[in-house]
Amino acid sequence: MIQFLLKRIGVVIPTFLGITVLAFALIHMIPGDPVLVMLGERNIDPAYYREAMHRMGLDLPLWQQYVNYLGRLLHGDLGTSLITQTPVMDEFLTLFPATLELSIAAMVFAVVFGLAAGIVAAVKRGTAVDHTVMGAALTGYSMPIFWWGLILIMVVSVHLGWTPVSGRLDIEFDIPPVTGLMLVDTLLSGDSGAFASALEHLILPAIVLGTIPLAVVARMTRSAMLEVLREDYIRTARAKGLSRTRVILKHALRNALMPVVTVIGLQVGTMLAGAVLTETIFSWPGIGKWLIDAISRRDYPVVQGGILLVASMIILVNLLVDLLYGVINPRIRHAR
Amino acid sequence: MNKYGLALGALLTLTAGGAMAAGTLVFCSEGSPAGFDPARYTTGTDFDASAETVFNRLTEFERGKTTIRSALAEKWTVSADGLTYTFNLRKGVKFHTTPYFKPTRDFNADDVVFTFERLIDKNHPFNKAAPAQYPYVTDMGMDTNIASVEKVDPYTVRFKLKAVDAAFLQNLAMSFSSVQSAEYANQLLKTNKAALINTQPIGTGPFVFKSYQKDAVIRFDANPTYWRKDELKLDKLIFAITPDASVRYQKLQKGECHLMAYPRPADLKAMQSNPQLQVTQQAGFNLGWVSYNVKHKPLDKVEVRQALDMAINKKAIIDAVYQGAGQLATNPMPPTQWSYNKSLKDAAYDVNKAKALLKKAGAEKLTITLWAMPVQRPYNPNAKLMAEMIQADWAKIGVNAKIVTYEWGEYIKRAKAGEDDTMLIGWNGDNGDPDNWLGVNLGCSAVGGNNYAQWCNKEFDDLIVKARNLSNQAERTKLYEQAQVVFKREVPFTPIAHSTVYMPMSKKVSGYMISPFALHSFYGVSLK
Amino acid sequence: MSETTTPALTAPDFPSPLAEFWHGFSRNRGATVALGFMLLLFVAALFAPWIAPHNPIEQYRDALLVPPAWTTDGSWRFILGTDELGRDILSRLIHGARISLWIGVVSVLCSMIPGVVLGLLAAFYPDRLGTVIMRLMDIMMALPSLLLAVAIVAVLGPGLANTMLAIAIVALPSYVRLTRASAMTELTRDYVVASRLAGAGTLRLMFSTVLPNCMAPIIVQATLGFSSAILDAAALGFLGLGAQPPLPEWGTMLAAARDYIERAWWVVTMPGLTILLTVLALNLMGDGLRDALDPRLKQHD
């Protein structure tokens, strides 16, 4: 296990270095610079422009900027935003919990409903139920989620008035951020109204973000279940006279979980990409929106740091999934 | 469906309103401010959250107007040569008391001196400790034109200028001139936390900064010691940051906020017919135009520019792009700007005459680029849409326009370098002075800068340079009116529209006035 | 598809591979319907100028935001209504099919061809070159695809060609990984060893021995890639970075329509539904192809 872990980490380090180069190169290749973007149609004095670029360290040769950046990075310094002048890490830490909360909620939604749908479809294989569930899943999988979000807001929030339109919490509640996870913070504050409000705000974005993962989980669960249900030990278990529900839930599901776990791992990247759109639509103050804004404002340190942090997260999750894989199925460890 | 939605919306408004503390105004704002030190920034989003709430200035614009009134300076005198300004400061004004700062003295001359020395002296100790740029100050020429700021006595300050600046008092009313506390700055310097001036602001203004969560909410409390008591009628002010305009409208409908910034023109009709809402409006102090690069052939020929000018169906653009929320523009400044020449008329929309002009100039079958900016601006809600319409209009006179767009910063950079043939651009007035329109956008010294037409006409330039150095408004008006005639004859750009500013709000809000400078201020506003 | 099974492995009484494929594919009713839909869309795109009732960029300025024909204020002149400039939505959707299908084809080819080549190289030279290639792919995989695409488009500038390129780059790793994995498996098979011993060159081994046997999953991936290309292009268009007006790309239409969501539901609904249906059809076809091409899954049925 330890060896496996070390080997994986050995692979991660060059990947990491590559990501710093990629992030750095990409953002600096984008035409325009932060000073010009900020000024808009306002006039600019060339001397002032040179000075501003110098102050931001943007007049050095690119390779030197990169070396400086890497040097700071080794000291754990991700730099300071050129626009807000706050450390990138601070900004990330205040915004990340919002994305995390949204992603967890979306994942819970996707896994709970996806597993259920997949199991039902597998058990009722070939029936109308199966076709309906799988048809719905494929539709969900094909959904342009930005459009889905707009339509849901129109129908559920505006016309039916069931959920709030956007944001994380009603403005009347002033909850001090402790963990940054609104559900937890409102619980800690002891104000049940605030908790209900946080939950109401979370539902719609979580559904939108969870739609594609839900479809994937449902499809994966179904095919994994079908495969497992054919195995000898299931037939044996059934033959032993165990109840159908018991066999499905205890034996079949447990073995069908493995591919599902992989899918969940793979969906984390998709989820963060989807978060960019979902956060834009629901005005959700998370890192997706933060990064898109930073790209358009040419806030180099934020883009570099943000991409690095997001990439680390994806790598970390994939590593975890690999480990979990090993726990669920010990054979994998030896195979690798 | 709609009726049901409305009724429910009303119900929710009631419940939400009941739960909120009395006198808490919620404003659905359009974006997150980059910081709370107004001098560092250039956009309304940043100024709304700091300059208009936390701070005061020596002079201030009258609510909803371009004229100024006294503020932290009670009165002032100007020397005969127009180079020395002496300000008598208001007594008994207190800076905010917050968990991070407790003032020990009232506002005085030291604060004014600190504020302006920081802006004009790059080597000021505070700038060493918290490096920052002050782009707007530079743009308005304040940093180079102020020779000195001195304290005469604790309540008198003297500014010396290098050259006459007819708009100096106006410039002092602009957001970047917000007066900071010297005592707070010293405290920050001593504790080595100078950077906090941008995240924990201290001012003398109507609202005290409480907390800020990026992309979510900014909270302010009323300033209990505010010196202009009659203008403070709220207990709390909250900015609910909501970047999407249709979401802002939905929140307004549901009573989640009382006012919203920048409604989409497409939603205005529904807003005006909603019984829960009132929509105030004001002619915009802005101008959107199509600029012709006179350095590119054949746009150097005035006939070609006239042909393109008369082929644009401005009325249709105002209907579709501005959804009627715009005013047809003829002059290079808005009608509310003094010195606006009322006698000027647009050339009539005439396809045949335009074709004839093109033929005369030998420019039939013309292919040119038409640039459209990628972002929404106060003077142009949808540049791409406008470009598509102009493209179709010009196609009718045989001009093939290719729509080009670049990322916003790049757009400006390339446009200033003169790479475009024709382009969409515009301007929002800064200080209510005519030179802020004619000089900034059309003067010879602005070529390579904001003079996107690259147009340097001696007759025009002589007039505006002469007017700039006069202080008599009547004389200046005459010169500026003549300059506009020259502009209309030469057509360096086609003015399209002044975008009307709308402010949709709940019927409970009273006393809100729209700022001509695209700012949102909440002093003087109350809730019923 | 006829080369997918080598003669050595084909039992004498097998049906022809093409017939077998069609048998497998047509058993999936959804996939057949989807194929029909896609053919229809393809024909519409091909003959757009003749089928579309109006010119897609013609602005009827007396008919802004006219609702669809079946609603009370609608007219049969504009079946699906008009947009904010009075352009016929149906015509724009039909012409948009050209652009969207074009985006799909080009970006799939632009990522599949280099992806397959890189994947084969990585499989044939697993030590140095393979490691380098796979590390590069890891780097790309570690970034959320949309974010990467946004950054690439920001570098290249918005526009149709750049959108396709960005989508192709983002999709590259999936082809590389897939090809490498299947090629690695094939490389251990007897027939490969045999042809290597028979003196086949590396190029020949790569492209005529190994590649045909890896094609099944690659084709399935390409179908799915086609649908995600359309989705990604629409997402970029929605963020204002995709095809530029007046091109009637579906995502760009949706982005422009967003302003009118309260007032004119059809300008938002129509392009969105079109995207959904097209992507759904492609995914259904992908499922059908998988059933027909992947022998392991077939056995289970």
**Chain C contact present for A202, CB below 8 A:** no
pLDDT of residue A40: 63
- Beta-strand pair B146-153/B73-78: unpaired
Compute the average pLDDT of residues C124-146. Answer: 85
Q: Single out the residue of B416, B441, B440 nearest to residue B492, CA to CA.
A: B441
Q: Is B425 close to A36, i.e. CB distance below 8 A?
A: no
The single-letter code of the amino acid at B524 is G
Q: Is C244 close to B405, i.e. CB distance below 8 A?
A: yes
pLDDT of residue B343: 94
C102 Rama sector, left if φ>0, alpha if ψ -120 to 50, beta otherwise: alpha
**Chain A contact present for B376, CB below 8 A:** no
What is the overall mean pLDDT for chain C?
83
Task: For residue A284, tell me if it sits in a domain.
Answer: yes
Task: For residue A250, tell me if it sits in a domain.
Answer: yes
Residues A139, A69: one domain? no
Residues of C in contact with A296 (CB under 8 A): 154
Q: Is C138 close to A11, i.e. CB distance below 8 A?
A: yes
Taking the CB of residue C176, how many other CB atoms lie within 10 A of it?
27
pLDDT of residue C158: 74
Q: Is C59 close to B384, i.e. CB distance below 8 A?
A: no
**Chain A contact present for C145, CB below 8 A:** yes
| Cα–Cα distance, A266 to C123 (Å, whole number) | 23
Q: Which of B267, B313, B406 sits opposite C157 (nearest CB)?
A: B406
Domain containing A54 equals 8-74
Tokens linked to C177? 């990984």
Residue range A99-113, pLDDT digits in tens: 889 988 998 999 899
Indicate the number of domains in chain A: 2
Q: Residue C214: exposed, middle, or buried by beta-carbon count in 10 A (0-12, 13-18, 19+)?
A: buried
User: Mapping DSSP to helix (H, G, I), strand (E, B) and coil, where does residue B28 land?
Assistant: strand
B211-228 burial, b at 16+ Cβ within 10 Å, e below that, comes to ebbbbbbbbbbbbeebbb
**Chain B contact present for C260, CB below 8 A:** yes
| Cα–Cα distance, B375 to A38 (Å, whole number) | 13
| Cα–Cα distance, B124 to C152 (Å, whole number) | 41
**What is the chain A residue with the closest CA to B12?**
A161
Q: Which residues, listed in sequence order, are joined to residue C88 by a DSSP beta bridge? A: C82
pLDDT of residue C7: 46
User: Mapping DSSP to helix (H, G, I), strand (E, B) and coil, where does residue B424 land?
Assistant: strand
Q: Single out the residue of A202, A222, A210, A204 nearest to residue A141, CA to CA.
A: A210
Tokens linked to B418? 């003169």
Q: For B515, how many CA atoms within 13 A lie in the half-sphere containing its CB?
A: 27
Indicate the range of A28-37, A86-95, A128-137, C106-115 predicted with least confidence: A28-37
Q: Are B232 and B206 in contact (CB under 8 A)?
A: yes
Q: Which residues, listed in sequence order, are joined to residue B503 by a DSSP beta bridge? A: B280
Compute the average pLDDT of residues C161-176. Answer: 91
What is the overall mean pLDDT for chain A?
81
Torsion of CA A25, A29, A34, A37, to 10 degrees: -150
pLDDT of residue C15: 67
pLDDT of residue A9: 74
User: Which residue ranges in chain B fall short of pLDDT 50?
Assistant: 1-21
A272-310 burial, b at 16+ Cβ within 10 Å, e below that, comes to bbbbbbbbbbbbbbbbbbbbbbbbbbbbbbbbbbbbbbb
Task: For residue A82, tell me if it sits in a domain.
Answer: no
Binding-face residues of A in 226-265 toward C, CB within 8 A: 226-227, 230
Residues A26, A117: one domain? no
Binding-face residues of C in 155-214 toward A, CB within 8 A: 155, 157
Q: Is A30 close to C155, i.e. CB distance below 8 A?
A: yes
Q: Is B384 close to C261, i.e. CB distance below 8 A?
A: no
Q: Single out the residue of B450, B182, C140 nearest to residue A273, CA to CA.
A: C140
Task: For residue A189, tell me if it sits in a domain.
Answer: yes
Compute the average pLDDT of residues C193-208. Answer: 83
pLDDT of residue C290: 80
Residues A69, A119: one domain? no
Write out the DSSP string of B121-182. Answer: -TT-HHHHHS----HHHHHTTHHHHEEEEEEEETTEEEEEESS--TTHHHHHTSGGGPPPPH
Q: Single out the residue of A190, A162, A157 nearest to residue A176, CA to CA.
A: A190
Q: Which of A138, A139, A226 sits opposite C300 (nearest CB)?
A: A226
Residues A137, A22: one domain? no
Residues A216, A149: one domain? yes
| Cα–Cα distance, B464 to B479 (Å, whole number) | 7
pLDDT of residue B66: 87
Compute the average pLDDT of residues A208-227. Answer: 88
CA–CA min distance A17, chain B (Å): 29
What is the phi/psi pair of residue B210, to 5°?
-115, -60
Beginning with the edge strand found earlier in the chain, give each strand of the sheet holding B73-78 in spatial order.
Answer: B73-78, B84-89, B156-161, B146-153
Tokens linked to A149? 């979000």
Q: Is C142 close to A15, i.e. CB distance below 8 A?
A: yes
A182-220 burial, b at 16+ Cβ within 10 Å, e below that, comes to bbebbbeeebeebbebbbebbbbbbbbbbbbbbbbbbbb
Q: Are B93 and B204 in contact (CB under 8 A)?
A: yes
Q: Are B513 and B63 in contact (CB under 8 A)?
A: yes
**Chain A contact present for B235, CB below 8 A:** no
User: Mapping DSSP to helix (H, G, I), strand (E, B) and coil, where does residue B370 land?
Assistant: strand
| Cα–Cα distance, B301 to B311 (Å, whole number) | 16
**For chain B, what is the radius of gyration of the CA atoms?**
24
Q: Which of B246, B385, B406 sits opposite C258 (nearest CB)?
A: B246
Can you say how many angstroms the Cα of residue A163 is from the centroid of all Cα atoms in its chain?
23
Q: Are C107 and C167 in contact (CB under 8 A)?
A: yes
**What is the chain A residue with the closest CA to C237?**
A146
A234-246 burial, b at 16+ Cβ within 10 Å, e below that, comes to beebbeeeeeeee
Q: Single out the residue of B280, B518, B276 nearest to residue B376, CA to CA.
A: B518
User: Mapping DSSP to helix (H, G, I), strand (E, B) and coil, where does residue B259 land?
Assistant: strand
- What's the complex ipTM? 0.80
Q: Is B139 close to A161, i.e. CB distance below 8 A?
A: no
Residues A117, A64: one domain? no
**Chain C contact present for A307, CB below 8 A:** yes
Confidence of residue A332 (pLDDT cuts 50, 70, 90): very low
Q: What length is written for chain A?
A: 336
Can you say how many angstroms the Cα of residue B416 is from the centroid of all Cα atoms in its chain?
20
Q: Are B518 and B44 in contact (CB under 8 A)?
A: yes
Residues of B in contact with C64 (CB under 8 A): 319-320
| Cα–Cα distance, B506 to A319 (Å, whole number) | 52
Contacts of C183 (CB under 8 A, 6+ apart): C119, C120, C123, C124, C210, C211, C214
Residues of C in contact with A143 (CB under 8 A): 276, 279
pLDDT of residue C22: 80
| Cα–Cα distance, B277 to B286 (Å, whole number) | 26
Compute the average pLDDT of residues A120-126. Answer: 87
Residues A22, A162: one domain? no
User: Mapping DSSP to helix (H, G, I), strand (E, B) and coil, where does residue C60 land?
Assistant: coil
Task: For residue A85, tell me if it sits in a domain.
Answer: no
Q: CATH code at A130?
A: 1.10.3720.10
Task: For residue A61, tell me if it sits in a domain.
Answer: yes
Residue A268 reports pLDDT greater than 80: no
Please say which residue of A282, A297, A312 terminates a domain. Answer: A297
DSSP annotation of C210 reads: I
For residues A44 and B427, the model is more confident at B427
For residues A13 and A135, the model is more confident at A135
Q: Are A78 and A87 in contact (CB under 8 A)?
A: yes
| Cα–Cα distance, B473 to B359 (Å, whole number) | 44
pLDDT of residue C1: 39
**Chain B contact present for A90, CB below 8 A:** no
Residue A329 reports pLDDT greater than 70: no
Residue C268 reports pLDDT greater than 70: yes
Residue range C222-267, pLDDT digits in tens: 888 888 898 888 888 877 777 776 788 888 888 878 777 777 888 8
Residue A333 reports pLDDT greater than 90: no
Q: At what angle do helices C145-156 and C211-238 cross, to 10 degrees?
A: 70
Task: For residue A83, tell me if it sits in a domain.
Answer: no
pLDDT of residue B390: 95
For residues B291 and C13, the model is more confident at B291
Compute the average pLDDT of residues C183-203. Answer: 84
**Chain A contact present for B19, CB below 8 A:** yes
Q: Residue B331: exposed, middle, or buried by beta-carbon count in 10 A (0-12, 13-18, 19+)?
A: buried
Task: For residue A43, tell me if it sits in a domain.
Answer: yes
CA–CA min distance A208, chain C (Å): 15
Residues A125, A193: one domain? yes
Taking the CB of residue B128, how many other CB atoms lie within 10 A of it?
11
pLDDT of residue C60: 87
Binding-face residues of B in 252-271 toward A, CB within 8 A: 253-254, 256-257
Contacts of C176 (CB under 8 A, 6+ apart): C115, C118, C119, C122, C133, C134, C137
Residues A130, A168: one domain? yes
CA–CA min distance B437, chain A (Å): 12
Q: Is C143 close to A307, i.e. CB distance below 8 A?
A: yes
| Cα–Cα distance, A148 to A210 (Å, whole number) | 11
For residues A168 and A200, the model is more confident at A200
Compute the average pLDDT of residues C194-206. Answer: 83
Q: Which residues, listed in sequence order, are joined to residue B509 by a DSSP beta bridge? A: B527
A vs C: CB pairs below 8 A: 125
The single-letter code of the amino acid at B71 is A
Q: Which chains sit next to C, with 3 or more Cβ pairs under 8 A? A: A, B
| Cα–Cα distance, B246 to A175 (Å, whole number) | 26
The single-letter code of the amino acid at B243 is P
For residues A227 and C244, the model is more confident at A227
**Chain C contact present for B247, CB below 8 A:** no
| Cα–Cα distance, C127 to B154 (Å, whole number) | 78
pLDDT of residue C62: 82
Which sign does the torsion angle of CA A272, A277, A282, A286 carry?
A: positive
Q: Residue B349: exposed, middle, or buried by beta-carbon count in 10 A (0-12, 13-18, 19+)?
A: middle
